[in-house]
Structure 1
Amino acid sequence: MPGSDENGVELTFIHWTYVLFIFGIVGFMLFRRDTTIVSIVGIFAISLAASFSLSESVSSLFNSFIFAVTELMPTILVISIIVAMSKILTISGVNEVMISPFSKIIRTPTLAYWTIGFVMMFISWFFWPSPAVALIGAVLLPVAIRAGLPALGVAMSMNLFGHGIALSGDFIIQAAPKLTADAAGIPVGEVIQASIPLVFVMGAVTTIVAYIFLMRDMKANKPFPVLSTTSSPLQEKKKDLLSNTSKKWFAFLIPLIFLLDVWIMYSLNLQGGDATALIGGTSIIILIVITCFSHKKKGLEKTTAYLIEGFQFGFRVFGPVIPIAAFFYLGDAGFQKIVGDFLPSESQGIVNDLGLALATVVPLTPEVGAITLTSVGIVTGLDGSGFSGISLAGSIAQLFATAIGAGAATLTALGQIAAIWVGGGTLVPWALIPAAAICGVDPFELARRNLIPVGIGLVVTTIVAMFLI
């Protein structure tokens, strides 16, 4: 396959440059080196390979940052607002009263890990993970830390159960299985039914392995670093700004308000960005009310101060992520907006082209089909969306199932699970930022922690799928 295959997918020098820098970025991550410069050089090299223009390649660096910030801005904002709200709740003492009932239940790191995980999974099934992270992190993070679970362990639990198990199955909202089923030409119910054993095998293996590694490191007293920032809600000391009666009232009303949000999401069918916006807006109102009651005459100025510190925290967390996100956005919809229309006319985007090319150079057997669909899911998940490549996974599953004579639903579900676990996500750093930022941990460290458990889970799930085809 020198440059194209029989299906007309042409792999150009642009594609191979992209692959080269993917390996470079992954290698730097594994060796715990910063990837910012590698990502920026990669953007420049890909743009130069496409346009052969030095000025356009230089301009693409700035344009890629603008594109990445635009795509990430909703997440940056909601994280910043949640952090600002959490800070005033902690300083005023409301948070301590609010979490006291949970403290009586969650008394050990083990209980904290599994309780937070299952609550996260349940809420994420109905509203997707991003708003669930905001709801759960604000309330249960201090409880878990008090029980002895490191903030990194809380982030792993929320991320693996929410962006992993719940999102990859998507049994309630059914956005993911609808996309893959349509691409594969089969009913969505068949994909959901086929995905159930695979989702739970993947989820069980990954969360158990992650838990074992976490407990091992805790017993060995290994450090679990958190981000050094004065705006972390966990680093603020409680002050006597409110009376005990006021604290109790606010501690009662705030969870009630968030439960009302949950009911509104359900009744109005708010999902994804709409659900996140509702949580963000509610958090702004809570921030203003608590700050004005706590600081009284200085409430106006203090509200602005808390927001500023929240934004400082948000951009400090996202700062290292924007360059690498900008690079990986080139693999999908971002290429044309950042670099221009330089890919072949039949191209479906760099990442999807690579996935299609991979599928056309392997023999068609159930075993190879399962391995290929997992690989295609992983490759297409590298753009950090998880959803952008699952239609391709469905199409390839249909081709393989036709050649094999069976297994369309299983192969479709397998590709869906691999793409969302990687890109939706538990391995791509900006996909897991909500959990990392709420918990005040480095998203790259969280990605490294997830790598081995998710890798083992994908291997086991692929083997199980071979027997189900």
Structure 2
Amino acid sequence: MVELTTLHLIFSLFLGFIILFLITRQDTSLICIAGVFALALVATGTLTGSISGIFNSFSYAIKELTPTILVISVIVAMSKVLEQTGIIDVMVKPFEKLMKNANVTFWVVGILMMIVSFFFWPSPAVALLGAVLLPLAIRSGLPPIGVAIAMNLFGHGIALSGDFVIQGAPKITADAAGLPVSEVVSASVPLVIVMGAVTTITAFIMLKRDMKRGKIDTTPTVNAEVKKEAGLLKSWQRRLFAILIPIIFGLDIVAMFYFKLQGGDATALIGGTAVIILLFLSMLTYKKKGLEKVTESFIDGFQFGFKVFGPVIPIAAFFYLGDSGFFQILGNALPANSTGIVNDLGLALAHSMPMNSGVAAGTLTLVGAITGLDGSGFSGISLAGSVAALFSHAIGGGAAVLTALGQVSAIWVGGGTLIPWALIPVAAICNVSPFELARRNLIPVVVGLVVTTIVAMFLI
């Protein structure tokens, strides 16, 4: 086991402060920067090194987040052109009868997000569905934060934690636990169902309660500044493009499946397609002014993207120091056998607990949650598999259930529904604060993890 050092203690201390700030609805940027400074000061031993560490951590965070910033920016730019030309209104028509009110819309948006995410993971699904469904969802009475909650819990929560189709997550955890992938997938089915049902129902009840109390702003804010311009396209052209654009993105889905594109590759395909659609529509619609409009759209999109991501960069910088980013930013100040601060903390917790089925299940949930704090969800699930194998030997069984429980916990926390910077894709598309989304997800996800852990105790 890795020996815990002052760096582990400092990270844990500031992590506690960050959670406290989030719960009390305080901005966490300052405390995150202070955490980076403290870690850098201990790691480098010099004042200049600690000051440089702040800038280097910001630079690293921006580099890691750039693909997400880009895809959000171009999707927003494209969606503005679709709104200006009125194409978006034609595209959402088929859903109008289905999405009659806020109650129905919450579940329709969530289920559609879950289905697409099962096949292509949540990030591309956010880009595919967000721009089309959001205006209609808001029109039906569901506020932007409600749309964000539905898309996030069903996509980054249910679909990603089970990962039944692509099976990237269960492959990692199963290999670490020394189990067949099919065994982990089977064991995860009841846990994913329980976690998904408890979390989404709790979130829905809390959302409806706050809407009735007037605590949620239901004013449409997404692209509210976009004004439709009459006469840009004829009605038959709007109908044609309303059909062609979904077909084009549908071909992207086929390409993802055929060429086995996942994660960043799938997101890049969606982003590139959005750029081409933006270019074509701008030139066709605005003709001689098309070149100007293309540049205008990109400026609007990138302004939006960096405005949304700006407050999150300090938080991302701190949490990257909890993962492998530490070694690239601050060097080799951790023990030689360390794989990152959050993994070390999770492993230390696992080795410090007495063993029985109840304690094993509770510890796996905590280990998964701790390793998910880096905002990745996937970086720590191999540790969850290893710990599950260790615990199953100690209690005489339950390896698959424990492995699945660690996987579900890590991905729900870090994949992400609770770490603000991991929530950016959904928050950006819906134009809501990732911090507010994290706060609203906190109670439903914690309740879901508690109930799922109790269910797992009986399945071991």
TM-score normalized by the length of structure 1: 0.96
Post-superposition CA distance 1:260-301 (Å, at most 9, x none): 111111111111111101100110011111111222111001
Deviation at 1:225, TM superposition (A): 7.2
| Paired residue type of 1:255 | P
| Paired residue type of 1:17 | I
Residue number in structure 2 paired with 1:466: 457
Residue number in structure 1 paired with 2:88: 95
For 1:348-367, list aligned pairs within 5 A.
348-367=339-358
Q: SS in structure 2 opposite 1:224?
A: coil
Post-superposition CA distance 1:133-185 (Å, at most 9, x none): 01110111111111110111111001000000000001111110111111111
Residue number in structure 2 paired with 1:233: 223
Q: SS in structure 1 opposite 2:97?
A: helix
Residue number in structure 1 paired with 2:245: 254
Is 1:347–1:353's contact at 8 Å kept on the other side of the alignment? Answer: yes
Is 1:227–1:442's contact at 8 Å kept on the other side of the alignment? Answer: no
Is 1:226–1:440's contact at 8 Å kept on the other side of the alignment? Answer: no
Q: Distance in 2 between matches of 1:186 and 1:271?
A: 24
Residue number in structure 2 paired with 1:387: 378
Deviation at 1:227, TM superposition (A): 10
| Paired residue type of 2:427 | A
Residue number in structure 2 paired with 1:295: 286
Is the aligned partner of 1:139 residue 2:132? yes
Post-superposition CA distance 1:7-51 (Å, at most 9, x none): x32000010000000011111111111111111110010011122
1:60 to 46, 50, 53: 53
Residue number in structure 2 paired with 1:276: 267
Q: SS in structure 2 opposite 1:112?
A: helix
Residue number in structure 1 paired with 2:304: 313
Is 1:25–1:35's contact at 8 Å kept on the other side of the alignment? Answer: yes
Deviation at 1:222, TM superposition (A): 2.0
| Paired residue type of 2:226 | E
1:325 to 294, 316, 321: 316
Q: Distance in 2 between matches of 1:300 and 1:233?
A: 22
Post-superposition CA distance 1:52-102 (Å, at most 9, x none): 111111111111011101111100000000000011111111111111121
Q: Distance in 2 between matches of 1:395 and 1:98?
A: 47
Q: SS in structure 1 opposite 2:377?
A: coil
Deviation at 1:247, TM superposition (A): 1.1
Residue number in structure 2 paired with 1:185: 178
Deviation at 1:234, TM superposition (A): 3.7
| Paired residue type of 2:188 | S
Deviation at 1:221, TM superposition (A): 2.3
Stretch deviating more after TM superposition (80-89 or 97-106): 97-106
Q: SS in structure 2 opposite 1:82?
A: helix
Post-superposition CA distance 1:339-363 (Å, at most 9, x none): 1111111112100110010011110
CA RMSD of the aligned region, Å? 1.2
CA distance 1:234–1:102, change in 2 (3 Å): farther
Q: SS in structure 2 opposite 1:105?
A: coil
For 1:80-91, list aligned pairs within 5 A.
80-91=73-84
1:158 to 147, 151, 158: 151
Q: Distance in 2 between matches of 1:33 and 1:444?
A: 9
Q: Distance in 2 between matches of 1:377 and 1:92?
A: 46
2:208 to 215, 218, 234: 215
Q: Distance in 2 between matches of 1:308 and 1:290?
A: 17
Deviation at 1:246, TM superposition (A): 1.4
Post-superposition CA distance 1:413-462 (Å, at most 9, x none): 00000000000010001111111110111111000010000010000000
Residue number in structure 1 paired with 2:28: 35
Q: Distance in 2 between matches of 1:218 and 1:38?
A: 31
Is 2:143–2:219's contact at 8 Å kept on the other side of the alignment? Answer: no
| Paired residue type of 1:153 | G
1:454 to 440, 445, 448: 445
| Paired residue type of 2:91 | M
TM-score normalized by the length of structure 2: 0.98
| Paired residue type of 1:253 | L
Q: Distance in 1 between matches of 2:220 and 2:177?
A: 43
Q: Distance in 1 between matches of 2:330 and 2:164?
A: 37
Is 1:48–1:54's contact at 8 Å kept on the other side of the alignment? Answer: yes
Q: Distance in 2 between matches of 1:61 and 1:172?
A: 40
Identity between Structure 1 and Structure 2 (%) = 63
Is 1:25–1:39's contact at 8 Å kept on the other side of the alignment? Answer: yes
Deviation at 1:104, TM superposition (A): 2.0
Is 1:227–1:440's contact at 8 Å kept on the other side of the alignment? Answer: no
Is 1:82–1:138's contact at 8 Å kept on the other side of the alignment? Answer: yes
| Paired residue type of 2:272 | G
| Paired residue type of 1:196 | V
2:196 to 179, 198, 203: 203
Is 2:138–2:220's contact at 8 Å kept on the other side of the alignment? Answer: no
Deviation at 1:233, TM superposition (A): 2.3
For 1:326-345, list aligned pairs within 5 A.
326-345=317-336
Is the aligned partner of 1:47 residue 2:19? no
Deviation at 1:226, TM superposition (A): 7.7
Q: Distance in 2 between matches of 1:247 and 1:422?
A: 41
| Paired residue type of 1:187 | P
Is the aligned partner of 1:419 residue 2:407? no
Q: Distance in 2 between matches of 1:288 and 1:351?
A: 44
| Paired residue type of 1:410 | V
Residue number in structure 2 paired with 1:3: none
Q: Distance in 2 between matches of 1:81 and 1:130?
A: 14
Is 2:142–2:218's contact at 8 Å kept on the other side of the alignment? Answer: no
